[in-house]
Amino acid sequence: MSKTLQTTPKNDGFRMPAEHEAHEEMWMAWPERTDNWRYGGKPAQQVFVNVAKAIAEVTSVTMAVSAEQYDNARRMLPENIRLVEMATNDSWMRDIGPSYVVNDKGERRGVDWEFNAWGGLVDGLYFPWDRDDQVASKICEIHRDNHYRAPLILEGGSIHVDGEGTLYTTEECLLHESRNPDLSKAEIEQILGDYLNVEKVIWIPRGLYNDETNGHVDNLIHIVRPGEVILSWCDDENDPQYEISQEAYRVLSEETDARGRKLKIHKMHVPGPLYIREDEAGGIDACNSMERSAGERLAGSYANYLITNMRIVLPLLDPAYDGEAKALLEDLYPGYEVVGVDAREILLGGGNIHCITQQVPAV
């Protein structure tokens, strides 16, 4: 039985754990949206399978899939990956799934944020988004976990937490007019504190260049461990990413986390720059809100990796930088296995491996 609670996680003694803490399950959602994924999602489906397989070796995976695609997904996925029929509008599980909170008694609950497809009627990427907005509560139902409905429009990819009271986000996203225009920065911080039990919010000005999510933080940085972050980096002064990375570095360098630690920052070079090719743009149904034309700059980032149960699943995006990214992660995560998956197809849809996954913590 799964109840919607009227209290808050903070009052109930729950906190959001860091991604490097233990996971029981990983959720994903099957891609098939023809105005986002080329050729009806067929190339992307194969990559989602590859990501799911890489995760399933260390963490149980559940894939949400539509009734129409159920048989196809079941044929493509190995038997050890659970398939659940669930209606969605697209397949960005990080943003539509629940943010889980835990307490020190071994209990777990979900936080269900309001979802408006990255901008609602102001600059959202599709309409309707009602099915996506139901996903978090459905996942909590399946796991029989109680959950909270938070009074905030927020996507999971727009926040990172260190599990020790610090949350990282971008002003570009959380303060965007298309999210919560009636709330002040202080009020947003208050809600994040109440629903994730964080004590400090570190605001980075902007997210990755040309990121259609209004600058999700998970495309710009990743938390290695409390007090230590990876930052997407660019050395080319003529690249618009250069100034964004410099600005983020300045802000992070001057910050301390909730425990008073000065931040240690590791620079991770962005791939590319990468652009949509003519042949890739050709297989996508035209739509008004998602820019999928040839020559469009892709928001490619190695920081969009997933940590799960002593394994890192890293998007491979550019032979010129893939090896460097993998080596950095192997250095920063001793004892972890770093597994690369060719992820350009996910990037063509607007995100990457972190964006298409959502963990359920082990308790």
pLDDT at residue number 363:
92
pLDDT at residue number 232:
98
Mean pLDDT of 314-335: 98
User: Taking all residues of the chain, what is their mean pLDDT, rounded to a whole number?
Assistant: 96
Question: Among 36, 208, 204, 194, which residue's Cα sits nearest to residue 117?
Answer: 36
Whether pLDDT at 288 is above 80:
no
Query: Would residue 157 count as lying in a domain?
Result: yes
- Into how many domains does the chain fold? 1
Whether pLDDT at 57 is above 90:
yes
Q: Tell me the C-alpha distance between 154 and 167, whole Å.
A: 14
Query: Would residue 276 count as lying in a domain?
Result: yes
Please give the positions annotated as active site.
355
- Is-contact 346 30, C-beta < 8 A? no
User: What's CA 151's distance to the chain center, in Å?
Assistant: 20
pLDDT at residue number 287:
74
Query: Would residue 2 count as lying in a domain?
Result: no
Query: Would residue 156 count as lying in a domain?
Result: yes
Q: Tell me the C-alpha distance between 77 and 95, whole Å.
A: 23
Query: Would residue 1 count as lying in a domain?
Result: no
Question: Among 58, 39, 52, which residue's Cα sits nearest to residue 93?
Answer: 52
- Is-contact 347 319, C-beta < 8 A? no
Task: Name the band, by pLDDT with cuts 50, 70 and 90, for residue 281.
Answer: confident
Token pair listed for 71: 């048989």
Handedness of CA 256, 190, 14, 22 (dihedral sign): negative
pLDDT at residue number 289:
66
Whether pLDDT at 284 is above 90:
no
Q: What is the CATH number for 330?
A: 3.75.10.10
Whether pLDDT at 1 is above 80:
no
Q: What is the pLDDT of residues 172-218, one digit of tens each?
A: 999 999 999 999 999 999 999 999 999 999 999 999 999 999 999 99
List the domain range (segments joined by +) for residue 141.
9-361
Query: Would residue 301 count as lying in a domain?
Result: yes
Token pair listed for 309: 């149960």
Mean pLDDT of 106-111: 97
